[in-house]
Structure 1
Amino acid sequence: MPQIGFGVWKIPFNQTAKVVTDAIKNHYRLIDTAKQYGNEEQVGQGIKDSGIERKQLFLTTKIFNGDQGDFDKLRNAFNEQLKKLGTDHVVLLLLHWPVFNKYIESWRALEAIYNDGQARAIGVCNFDVDHLQKLMDHANIMPMVNQIEFNPRIHQPDTVAFCQDNHIQLEAWSPLGNGQLLSSPVISKIAKEHGKTPAQVIIRWELQQGFIVIPKSIHEERMRENRDVYDFELDADEMEAIAMLDEEKHSIWYDKYKWSGNPNGRDNYIAKPGEF
């Protein structure tokens, strides 16, 4: 599994195919998309345009909140996702959010998809300890990945520790904190000392904690920059200085998530910690 992937959330639709092709040209092999991003078809086109063999790519997509809960509905929806992506399988399939009262049944569908070979690995996104424990209590196949919001401003230590203890690979979305961390004096000072950019220092900080990191950019120079992080290492003092930036504030929270469905009902309601 590549340590650094390429995310496509909020990339303009008319640029997505080219940007994906550019990312592959610049040696990205993990491409991360989702039905909720609305660009799976463009991602599939970008992969096709790149000319790369499909087996060389680690393609990830996610199950839409509105498709969760019903076994057959989820599987049919996923088959449509595969058509848009132009493939018969993905390497990693994730539940995008822990939808209230639905994610256990949804996981059963993911297990079937995995057993049928349509996904080489299955996992979740944005699950905290309560969600993970509940899921694992009912699962035949344990989640292999948990993709969470993680960067120097939001650490989610309990979730991280639980995943590490249970051999669940962690992935970081929003690894650069929506760009807000790039002007941090602490990070800028460390970057200057290493002859690196703030983005490179942040990505290195996350890699050294065992995370798979999913940055994004529409610019090829920054794509290359985000991968050029293997010729230096942060020492313990630098790691701690960056960790001290933690505010434990999510950029998006469960009950405010704009794709959670009707905010006055629970059709696609995102389960808060402690809710199932």
Structure 2
Amino acid sequence: MIRGLYTAAAGMIAEQRKHDTVTNNIANLQTAGYKQVNAISRSFPEMLIALSGGQASGGTSRQIGRLNTGVLAEEDPSLYVQGDLKETSNKFDFAIASNIESPNLEFNGTGMAFDADGNRVFQRQLFFTVQSPEGETRYSRSGNFEVNAAGELMTAEGYRVLGLDGQPIVLVDAAGRAIPEVKATEDGRFLNAVTGEPLRNAAGQQMGLLLSVVEDPNRLVREGNSVYRVNAGEEGTVTALADNAGVRNAEFGNWVDTHQAAIRQGYLEQSNVDPAQSMVELNNALRAYEANQKMVQYYDRSLEKAVNEVGRV
């Protein structure tokens, strides 16, 4: 009886976590660049139940069957597939449209494929490279940028946007004058909005967005504020495309010509959350939670009778 009580309680905890995950997705339907999070549940290890010993069985054991010991919400992986692009006409809004292909692999709707050996392979994804207030490198798909009083290009959450030289982008020309408006090419380089000439920093280098290719986006860690990080020791899973030349070599191909990736100025990538599916999952989690709750109440009433009624006999 107690085992059944624990099993039902574990189910309630798992469904509550699933419910929280889905409600977080719904709350971020309008968050630029947000990637849907999926709650994955698995069962605890099963136990083999056997009747052992005793004179009636001749001292031998007899297998009865397997007993499931409950369920838990194991992990919350994100779905990194491309979100829809929405036009904003804001010159400092940028969206990444990427579909980086891999030879001999065909990715499904979740960005996953299987190689010739049956191993799971996830589609590489392109990210903006930003810097946290503490000076640490982070990655984001949210491109609703703005310019502060110092001319720095910032995310809406206060992270500095890094440029091709790996340093925060400061929109001032070589003479120190503020640049009120820029034009971006498909590979993220900045041009003069009037003349079309490349914009250069004080060192004479062309300014532009520093893009990073993440080999396996499922290894990223969500930090909130629409940014991700990689754990220490896993920095090799991210390739910073300095001068955006990395996407033009044999490994990545010519990303502009083949449309594997492009920067869209005046657009924002929308959340890839499916609202209809989210509502279905929300209702399923609620019903499963209520079912486990009724089982807990049933066991509670049974224990009450065992203590208050059977105990008096």
Task: Kindly indicate whether structure 1 or structure 2 has the higher relative contact order, using CA contacts under 8 Å at least 6 residues apart.
Answer: 2
Q: TM-score, normalised by structure 2?
A: 0.20
**Greater strand content:** 2
Highest Rg: 1 or 2?
A: 2
